[in-house]
Structure 1
Amino acid sequence: MTGLTSIRTSRNSKIEIVDQLLLPHTTEFIEIDTIEQAHDAIKSMKIRGAPAIASLAALTFSAYLTRALQASPAPAFLSSPDTLKAHVLPLLDFLYSARPTAVNLGAATRRLTKTLQASVDAGKDAKTIAQDLIAEGKNIDGEDVGRNKEMAKQGGEWLINHVKSHDKTGEDLNVLTVCNTGSLATSGYGTALGLITYLHETGKLGKAYFTQSAPYHQGSRLTSLELQTLKIPNVMICDTMVGSLFQNHKIHAVAVGADRIAKNGDTANKIGTYNAAVLAARHNIPFIVVAPVSTVDLDIADGTSIPIEQRPPIEACLVRGALHPPSLNVHGEKEQAVVMITPSDLEGIYNPSFDVTPADLITAIVTEKGVAVREEGELVFDLSSVV
């Protein structure tokens, strides 16, 4: 099965991203030529998903250095290791500032910083150091698809066995997810949506349920499109319908992604995840977090130290979509519009992009290295086996 693509590259270092603000009605690729354009695309959510924004940052940084090496005359910052270091460190800091909650972005910039310092310490010249950074940036992007498939398999098999252990067949599993964690949020296949895809590919899935995920509607706009593309049976629900779904339908698990996981297992994810976790606990439904090792931040003890991004208040007042009934523009594409759904002078708008789910509400945390579960009676995770 072939999924959707969030980033595409060419041999001449050309980078394009699909503008996710226009999906699902219009598929438009935007060329990213500069560090500033990458920062804007991440901050404005033209591209989103913790792994995907880390890939874009790393690839754009690599492309920037590739153009510098090809320039004639060479830019001044390539004159020595010290001038190179002084030039690129602020660029990495700038990229990280685009979305600070997503630890993958920070992990990517720290990894590039570490490569820079190691190459400087090894006594390499500026151009060789730049080549090392280019290779590392491409590695950060290239590793994503393989690890996504591995964690999807690990999480999928764990869920099948978990259901079987409760005297059930492990067939026709219904799984709810929040936001979008598929190919559009990663370099391919996905994390939590990858788990659902794995269950579908192995014939174990009943239906995939997903929340609309307001206010950006990543579920109704993006997850719906991915599931349709993959021909996976699916059902959309409004965010406020999670409790009703659990009361009236058999749901075998909730699978979500993560933008940051603290040392104790507290997890920051798209706003609404905590709500789903509380309701899942009430209904004894396993709650599974699926994320790469790079999402685990062992430097913070618990979720209270995770920075929560506050989005502009206006974003909670607006909805973008296609006109209904459909109307086509001169290019044969559906006309789209942004409409305000609140009074124009509304005050006191609370619009965090993420919430934190405490570890004691999480059943399992899955990375490409395995599955961590809490020991009986423990309220926190030991993540040493999966990082």
Structure 2
Amino acid sequence: MAPLISIRSSNDKLEIVNQLLLPHVTEFLPIESVEDAHDAIKTMKIRGAPAIASLAALSFSQYLSRALKASPQPDFLASPEALKNHVEPILAYLYTARPTAVNLGAATRRLTNTLSSSIAAGKDTQFIVTDLILEGNAVADEDVGRNREMAKWGGEWLLKRVKDSGKDVSVLNVMTVCNTGSLATSGYGTALGLITYLHETGKLDKAYYTQTAPYHQGSRLTALELLTLNIPSVMICDTMVGSLFQHHDIHAVVVGADRIAKNGDTANKIGTYNAAVIAARHNIPFIVVAPISTVDLDIEHGSKIPIEQRPPLEACLVRGVLYPNDGKTEQVQVMITPPGIEGIYNPSFDVTPAELITAIVTEKGVAVKAEGESVFDLTPIV
């Protein structure tokens, strides 16, 4: 099977795979404007903190590239000041699409900083726009390489950890939560990248992944990615994690992150905190794998991380294909809850406290807590 991708970009053409329809239907949607990108991110047609940052940056580059080629050129290219006044609100608008994923904010700040430094250097408008286009493309291009780096760092650290614990095993069983593979990044993946690294080096027995809830797409995307990579895998309901740990030898839980606070508290897909609590009860290492752009040093601890509340209706719907239906693939969306429920609690993320996390991995290496400490010093890996 061909490798899965979340974004296709060539010249000024930009497309994303509509993840709402996966795994049953593969449909690429054209992104023709920053408004299209904002909608795709907000409605979760694309998901995964690195992937949404890449899409936002690429759509911004597309917008500027088309402006350079337009005849006549738009007024905002008349001067550096006009450019600044025009594009800063666009970057601010893109940032509003999803508030928890810090990668999106890191990408828009990176572009804002490029704008400011290019203006300060006295460049003319055409050169400033070129700088912004190149920087926007770089946000996506750099993702695959750093994912491979952190996968190797984390995989080798875990293998050593298991060996040092005295366990005589040649292959590992690893559990993950939500999707952190190629569909959630620009390629290879973060936590799923670590699992892929273990598989590629012959050190993985099985990958276990949680079905966080019927309406959450992440686990179905994980299933699709693991099947594509021919990685032996087992799906479990999130309410069965405790039973899994009681009856099977799980060597680690590996998850991604949407935002990591300065002390190591980590926001990730809802259900991650539950898994961390149970992993701690069973003395199973709990590892967070995420790029440096996910670490937010401006936030001291997890209580300051904004948690996105999704529309209540999303918790009542499930999408799939009718079965059986004379061999035809007909995708439907149905309501799974009765009408008249008084309230629906539907956060996208929860925060796992640093004390429950064994290690945090970025492309720069692996951080562990100092002896006797309950929080991390992330300085060496950011």
**For the superposition of Structure 1 and Structure 2, which TM-score range results when normalised by the shorter chain?**
over 0.9
- 2:330 and 2:119 mapped to 1: Cα distance? 52
Give the total of aligned pairs. 382
Q: Offset at 1:217?
A: 2.7
- Equivalent residue, structure 2, for 1:370: 365
- 2:2 and 2:152 mapped to 1: Cα distance? 17
- Equivalent residue, structure 1, for 2:338: 343
Tell me the SS of whatever aligns to 1:105.
helix
Tell me the SS of whatever aligns to 1:185.
coil
Q: Offset at 1:112?
A: 0.1
Letter in 2 for 1:224: A
User: Does structure 2 conserve the Cα–Cα contact (< 8 Å) formed by 1:170 and 1:204?
Assistant: no
- Equivalent residue, structure 2, for 1:5: 5
* Bigger Cα displacement from structure 2, 34-43 vs 317-326: 317-326
- 2:357 and 2:43 mapped to 1: Cα distance? 30
Superposition map of 1:266-281 within 5 A: 266-281=265-280
Q: Offset at 1:343?
A: 1.0
User: Does structure 2 conserve the Cα–Cα contact (< 8 Å) formed by 1:176 and 1:255?
Assistant: yes
* Bigger Cα displacement from structure 2, 241-250 vs 164-173: 164-173
Query: Would the alpha carbon gap of residues 270 and 261 (structure 1) be closer, same or farther in structure 2, given more than 3 Å must change?
Result: same
Pair 1:47-2:46 in alignment: yes
- 1:326 and 1:79 mapped to 2: Cα distance? 59
- Equivalent residue, structure 2, for 1:135: 134
- Equivalent residue, structure 1, for 2:353: 358
Letter in 1 for 2:254: A
TM-score by length of 1: 0.97
User: Does structure 2 conserve the Cα–Cα contact (< 8 Å) formed by 1:177 and 1:208?
Assistant: yes
- Equivalent residue, structure 2, for 1:73: 72
Query: Would the alpha carbon gap of residues 133 and 328 (structure 1) be closer, same or farther in structure 2, given more than 3 Å must change?
Result: farther
Query: Would the alpha carbon gap of residues 29 and 373 (structure 1) be closer, same or farther in structure 2, given more than 3 Å must change?
Result: same
Superposition map of 1:141-152 within 5 A: 141-152=140-151
Query: Would the alpha carbon gap of residues 82 and 328 (structure 1) be closer, same or farther in structure 2, given more than 3 Å must change?
Result: farther
- 1:363 and 1:118 mapped to 2: Cα distance? 39
Superposition map of 1:1-387 within 5 A: 3-11=3-11, 13-214=12-213, 216-326=215-325, 334-387=329-382
Letter in 2 for 1:359: A
User: Does structure 1 conserve the Cα–Cα contact (< 8 Å) formed by 2:62 and 2:133?
Assistant: yes
Q: Offset at 1:106?
A: 0.2
Deviations 1:45-95 (A, max 9, x none): 000000000000000000000000000000000001111011101110110
Tell me the SS of whatever aligns to 2:324.
coil
| 5+ long unaligned stretches in structure 2 | none
Q: Offset at 1:328?
A: 6.0
User: Does structure 1 conserve the Cα–Cα contact (< 8 Å) formed by 2:20 and 2:217?
Assistant: no
Letter in 2 for 1:380: V
- 1:116 and 1:192 mapped to 2: Cα distance? 33
Q: Offset at 1:198?
A: 0.3
Tell me the SS of whatever aligns to 2:298.
coil
Letter in 2 for 1:109: T
Query: Would the alpha carbon gap of residues 327 and 71 (structure 1) be closer, same or farther in structure 2, given more than 3 Å must change?
Result: farther
Tell me the SS of whatever aligns to 1:289.
strand
Query: Would the alpha carbon gap of residues 328 and 17 (structure 1) be closer, same or farther in structure 2, given more than 3 Å must change?
Result: farther
Deviations 1:306-336 (A, max 9, x none): 000000000001000111114566xxxx211
User: Does structure 1 conserve the Cα–Cα contact (< 8 Å) formed by 2:177 and 2:219?
Assistant: no
Letter in 2 for 1:10: S
Deviations 1:217-240 (A, max 9, x none): 334310000000000000000111
Tell me the SS of whatever aligns to 1:310.
coil
User: Does structure 2 conserve the Cα–Cα contact (< 8 Å) formed by 1:3 and 1:189?
Assistant: no
Query: Would the alpha carbon gap of residues 326 and 220 (structure 1) be closer, same or farther in structure 2, given more than 3 Å must change?
Result: farther
Deviations 1:201-249 (A, max 9, x none): 0000010000012254334310000000000000000111111100111
Q: Offset at 1:9?
A: 1.0
| 5+ long unaligned stretches in structure 1 | none
Q: Which runs of 4+ in 1 moved over 3 A?
A: 326-329
- 2:313 and 2:276 mapped to 1: Cα distance? 27
RMSD after superposition = 1.1
Q: Offset at 1:125?
A: 1.3
* Bigger Cα displacement from structure 2, 59-68 vs 164-173: 164-173
- 1:305 and 1:78 mapped to 2: Cα distance? 39
Identity %: 75
- 1:381 and 1:371 mapped to 2: Cα distance? 11
- 2:303 and 2:74 mapped to 1: Cα distance? 44
Letter in 1 for 2:294: T
- 1:146 and 1:277 mapped to 2: Cα distance? 28
TM-score by length of 2: 0.98
Deviations 1:97-145 (A, max 9, x none): 0001000000000000000000111111112111100000001100000
